[in-house]
Amino acid sequence: MMELFIQLISGACFTLGALLILSGGVGILRFPDFFTRMHAAGITETLATGLILLGLMLLAGWGLVLFKLVLILLFIMLTSPTAGHALAKAALHGKLKPVTYNPHSK
């Protein structure tokens, strides 16, 4: 019974992670400028990767595989936001301006 529950939770993590990856891809295609595309890619990549790794951790059980998955998750959680910040800062230093939207102008 407990094995079935773990498999269901793991499957939910995989499904939600896949949907987040899909929404990030749509955001990259639809958003107007570099900065909003970076936001869509960075947020969905970090969260979707975390969910997929969590699903794998639930299926792995206790052991070396779980330890390696935790190390991968920690690495992703530390490097992905840092890389996104570095790219955005480099774009700003390169004089790339974000697209601004004023809802009151026509």
DSSP, residue by residue, 44-74 = HHHHHHHHHHHHHHHHH-SSHHHHHHHHHHH
Torsions phi, psi of 19, nearest 5?
Answer: -65, -35
pLDDT score recorded for residue 106:
60
pLDDT score recorded for residue 97:
84
pLDDT score recorded for residue 31:
87
Residue corresponding to tokens 């869509």: 40
The tens place of each residue's pLDDT in the chain, 106 residues long, gives: 889 999 999 999 999 999 999 999 998 898 888 888 888 888 888 999 999 999 999 999 899 999 999 999 999 999 998 998 898 899 989 988 877 776 676 6
- Strand segments, DSSP code E, in 6-88 are none
CA triple 9-11-15, angle to 5 deg: 120
